[in-house]
C-alpha cells in the first residue's frame, strides 16, 4: 500500500510571448494550477492543470476552489488501487483539468515507485513525437511572417487559427501557402464558422490546390449536425475538438459519424477519460490528434507521455509551452525544434 | 530495456471431472498450451492459452504450429515497450488464445520487474471477485442434483447450460428453480435456439416467476438481428458471447443495439483487445461479464487479474478450473467457495 499523504496546490502565472488570439478570444496570460502529490513513502510527483474557461467553463480560481475537496477525497488512498482513486475523484470533483493533473500525478507516483516511466506504463510505443506550431489570428502580414518563421525554425506542420472572417481567412491561407509550401496544415476555426461558411472556406482552398491535413472544429461545439455536414461536404478530414469533452460526447459523435478525427486534450477530459475516448475512437476507426490548452512544459509532459506511450496520434499539437515565456523546460523532455523526446 | 530472451511452449492435458456437455459439444478433456516467458534479466512468467475450436477454430495443435513464429516475433523485444510488442504479435500471429497468454505473460514480467501485481497495474479496483459455477447439459435428474450441490457448496450464482431442447430446458429450469431458490441464474444456450425459440423459452420462465440475471448467446453467433430480436422481445438481459470475438464484432453489436451484456473472454480476443472491448462497452453503457474456456487455475489467474484490476464485471464466470481435475491450484489466488481472492 502506498498512500497519498498530501497534495499541494499553487497557481502559476505565465505570459504569452504574443497575444494568443483565436476565434472570439485573446489571451496574454495563462494561470495554471500546479499540483505536488506526496506519498506516504516519500515519492513526490508534480503535475499541472491548465483550465480553459472558453472550453470547459473553469479557471484557476474555480480549480483552486475545489482543491481542498480533492485533497480530502484523495488523502490516505492507495495509489496501487488507482482505479478506485480515479473513480472517487470522478464522482466528487468536477474539474477536468484538475482531474488530468491529479490522475497523471498518481500514475507518475506509481511509476516512480515501480522504476518505470509513465510512457512505458502506457505501452512505450514511441520514444519521440513531432509537434506542430501555431500561427494565431492577426493581420495578414504578421500571420504570413509568423508562418514563414515557424517553417524556418524547422517545423513541418503548421497550425493556423482562423474563424473570425472567412474571406480574410481564405486570403491568409493562400498567402501562407505561398511562403510555406511543403508543410502540412492543421486549420483550426475554433467554432467560428457556420456550416456553410466552413464548406465555402474548404472548397475555396481546395480549388487553389491547397491541402489541409486536419480541419479542426469548423462549427459551433453543439452543432453536431453541422459538423457532420462539413465532414461530408468538404474535401478535408474534419476534427472535433470543442465538441468532445466527455465519453458521451465521443459516443454521440461516432454514432452520428460527425468527424474524421477526435482531438484528445487531457485538460478537457481528464487523463483516464482521455484513455477511454482513445480506445473508443480507435475501435471505431476514428483518427486521433492530441492537443493542449495553455500548459507550460510541466503540463505538456503529461500529454507527451500519453502520446509516446500509446503512439496512436496522427498529429500532435503540443506547442503551448513554446508560446509561453518560461524560465526553463521543466517537462523532462528534450525539445529539438519540432521533435519532442522523453529523457 | 528488458528483452524477451526465450519462450517455452508445452501442451498440458486436463480431464474434466464430468463430461463438459453444452449445445452440440461434449468434451472430456482439455488441451491447453502453457507459455513460459523468460527475460534477459531472469524474470520468468508463466501463462496459459486455452484454445476453443468451437468458438475460434483453434486447438492446441494449431496453437503449437504458430509457437515458433510467435517466439521469433517476440525474441529480443523490450517488454517496457509492450505496446509495440502487442502490435507485432497482432499483425503476425493469428491465435487469440496464444495472444492472450503471451500478452499476459509480458505484462506480468513487466509487473514483476516493477514490484507490482498485474491487477494493480490494471487499476487495483477489487481485491476479490465472486464466480458462478456451471451445470452442464445432462438428464433432468442429474442437472437438478448438480444445481442443488452447487448451492450446497456455497455458490450464489448458478450458470445453467441449455440450448439443445427448448421444452426440456424449460422443465429443467423449473425444477432447478425449486431446489435453488435465492440463487442468481445465468442461462447459456451457446447459440442453440432460433430467435423465436429463445423468446418462447424466456417468456415461459418469466410466466413462472423465474428471474434470469443474464441470458447468454441464445442464438447463432452470426445472427445479430436474431440476438437483437431476443433482446427486445424477452424480459431478461441478453449477453453476446460467441457473437463477439473481435473489436469489430463489438462495434457492430453496439451499433445494432443487439445485446445488454458482452461476455469478455481473453481466450477469444487476446488480452489487449479484451481491454479495448471493455472500454468500448463501458463507454456505450453495455454491461460486462467475464468468462472462460477450459483454463486451468494457471489460465484463470489471467482473467482474475483482469477482473480484479478493472472491477467492471457484473458477473464473473470463472469456474473452468473447478470443473477440471488439477493436482493443485497454480493460479496464485485463494478460492474460498464462490470467492476468488488474489494472494
Q: Answer whether B209 touches A (CB < 8 Å).
A: no
Longest pairwise C-alpha distance within chain A? 62
Identity of the residue in B84, B283, B311 whose CB atom sits nearest the CB atom of A124: B84
ipTM of the complex: 0.95
Identity of the residue in B81, B251, B311 whose CB atom sits nearest the CB atom of A125: B81
Active site residues of A: 161, 265
Average pLDDT, chain A: 98
Q: Which residues of chain B make contact with A123, given a CB cutoff of 8 A? A: 81-84, 86
Q: Do A122 and B83 touch (CB under 8 A)?
A: yes
State the cell numbers at A150.
515557424
Chain A 122-161, residues with CB within 8 Å of chain B CB atoms: 122-125
pLDDT at position B50? 98
State the cell numbers at A131.
509537434
Distance of CA B260 to the CA centre of its chain: 17
A245: closest CA of chain B, how far (Å): 13
Q: Give the model confidence (pLDDT) of A269-296 as tens digits.
A: 999 999 999 999 999 999 999 999 999 9
State the cell numbers at B120.
494493480
Q: Give the model confidence (pLDDT) of B135-165 as tens digits.
A: 999 999 999 999 999 999 999 999 999 999 9
Q: Is domain A4-115 annotated with CATH 3.40.50.1220? A: no
Check: CB of residue B319 under 8 Å from CB of residue B293: no
Identity of the residue in B115, B116, B283 whose CB atom sits nearest the CB atom of A247: B283
Q: Answer whether A113 touches B (CB < 8 Å).
A: yes
B255: closest CA of chain A, how far (Å): 8
A83: closest CA of chain B, how far (Å): 4
Q: Give the model confidence (pLDDT) of A303-318 as tens digits.
A: 999 999 999 999 999 9
Check: CB of residue B343 under 8 Å from CB of residue B128: no
Please state, for a pLDDT cut of 70, what percent of chain A lies above it.
100
Q: Do A275 and B279 touch (CB under 8 A)?
A: yes
Q: Do A125 and B250 touch (CB under 8 A)?
A: no
Q: Answer whether A3 touches B (CB < 8 Å).
A: no
By C-alpha distance, which of A195, A194, A201 is closest to A170? A201
pLDDT at position A25? 95
Q: Do A124 and B311 touch (CB under 8 A)?
A: no
* Backbone torsion region of residue A296, taken as left when φ is above 0, otherwise alpha when ψ lies between -120 and 50, otherwise beta: beta
Q: Give the model confidence (pLDDT) of A85-116 as tens digits.
A: 999 999 999 999 999 999 999 999 999 999 99
pLDDT at position A78? 98
Quote the DSSP letter at residue A41: T
A182: closest CA of chain B, how far (Å): 30
pLDDT at position A85? 98
The CATH number given to B4-116 is 3.30.390.10
Q: Which residues of chain A make contact with B80, given a CB cutoff of 8 A? A: 116, 120, 124
Q: What fold characterizes domain B121-342?
A: TIM Barrel (3.20.20)
Q: Which helix (H) or strand (E) holds B139?
A: none
Check: CB of residue B297 under 8 Å from CB of residue B113: no
Check: CB of residue A117 under 8 Å from CB of residue A127: no
Burial of A25 (0-12, 13-18, 19+ CB in 10 A): middle
Cα separation, B209 vs A209, whole angstroms: 69
Average pLDDT, chain B: 98
The per-residue b/e assignment along B164-183, b for 16 or more CB within 10 angstroms, e otherwise, is bebeebbebbbbbbeebeeb
* pLDDT band per the 50, 70, 90 thresholds, residue A188: very high
HSE toward the beta carbon, residue A75, CA cutoff 13 A: 9
Quote the DSSP letter at residue B131: B
* pLDDT band per the 50, 70, 90 thresholds, residue A214: very high
Q: Give the model confidence (pLDDT) of A149-166 as tens digits.
A: 999 999 999 999 999 999
Q: Where are the domains of chain A?
A: 4-115, 121-342
By C-alpha distance, which of A304, A262, A305 is closest to A285? A262
The per-residue b/e assignment along B144-163, b for 16 or more CB within 10 angstroms, e otherwise, is bebbbebbeeebbbbbbbbb
By C-alpha distance, which of A168, A225, A236 is closest to A199? A236
Q: Do A251 and B275 touch (CB under 8 A)?
A: no
* pLDDT band per the 50, 70, 90 thresholds, residue A325: very high
Question: Which positions of chain B have pLDDT values less than 70?
Answer: none
pLDDT at position B140? 97
Q: Answer whether B277 touches A (CB < 8 Å).
A: yes
Q: Give the model confidence (pLDDT) of A1-54 as tens digits.
A: 999 999 999 999 999 999 999 999 999 999 999 999 999 999 999 999 999 999
Which strands, in side-by-side order, build the sheet including B4-22?
B4-22, B25-39, B44-49
Q: Which of B77, B133, B151, B161 is catalytic?
A: B161
Identity of the residue in A123, A275, A282 whose CB atom sits nearest the CB atom of B82: A123
Amino acid at each position: 500500500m502506498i498512500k497519498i499523504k498530501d497534495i499541494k496546490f499553487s497557481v502559476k502565472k505565465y505570459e504569452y510571448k504574443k497575444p494568443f488570439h483565436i476565434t472570439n478570444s485573446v489571451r496574454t496570460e495563462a494561470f495554471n494550477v500546479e499540483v505536488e502529490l506526496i506519498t506516504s513513502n516519500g515519492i513526490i510527483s508534480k503535475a499541472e492543470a491548465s483550465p480553459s474557461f472558453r472550453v470547459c467553463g473553469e479557471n484557476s480560481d474555480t480549480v483552486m476552489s475545489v482543491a481542498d475537496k480533492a485533497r480530502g477525497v484523495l488523502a490516505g488512498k492507495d495509489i496501487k488501487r488507482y482505479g478506485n482513486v480515479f473513480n472517487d475523484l470522478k464522482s466528487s470533483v468536477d474539474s477536468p483539468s484538475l482531474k488530468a493533473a491529479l490522475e497523471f500525478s498518481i500514475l507518475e507516483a506509481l511509476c516512480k515507485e515501480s522504476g518505470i516511466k509513465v510512457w512505458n506504463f502506457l505501452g512505450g510505443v514511441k520514444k519521440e513525437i513531432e509537434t506542430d506550431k501555431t500561427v494565431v489570428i492577426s493581420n495578414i502580414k504578421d500571420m504570413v511572417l509568423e508562418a514563414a518563421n515557424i517553417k524556418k525554425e524547422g517545423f513541418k506542420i503548421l497550425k493556423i487559427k482562423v474563424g473570425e472572417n472567412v474571406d480574410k481567412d481564405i486570403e491568409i491561407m493562400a498567402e501562407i501557402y505561398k511562403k510555406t509550401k511543403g508543410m502540412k496544415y492543421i486549420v483550426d476555426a475554433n467554432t467560428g464558422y457556420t456550416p456553410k461558411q466552413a464548406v465555402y472556406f474548404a472548397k475555396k482552398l481546395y480549388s487553389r490546390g491547397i491541402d489541409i491535413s486536419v480541419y479542426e472544429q469548423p462549427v459551433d461545439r453543439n452543432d453536431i449536425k453541422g459538423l457532420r455536414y462539413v465532414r461530408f461536404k468538404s474535401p478535408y478530414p474534419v476534427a472535433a475538438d470543442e465538441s468532445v469533452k466527455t465519453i458521451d460526447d465521443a459516443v454521440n459523435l461516432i454514432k452520428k459519424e460527425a468527424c474524421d478525427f477526435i482531438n484528445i486534450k487531457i485538460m478537457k477530459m481528464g487523463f483516464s477519460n482521455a484513455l477511454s475516448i482513445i480506445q473508443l475512437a480507435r475501435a471505431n476507426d476514428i483518427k486521433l490528434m492530441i492537443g493542449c490548452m495553455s500548459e507550460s512544459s510541466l503540463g505538456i509532459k503529461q500529454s507527451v507521455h500519453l502520446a509516446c506511450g500509446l503512439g496512436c496520434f496522427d498529429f500532435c499539437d503540443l506547442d503551448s509551452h513554446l508560446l509561453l515565456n518560461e524560465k526553463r523546460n521543466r517537462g523532462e523532455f528534450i525539445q529539438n525544434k519540432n521533435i519532442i523526446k522523453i529523457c
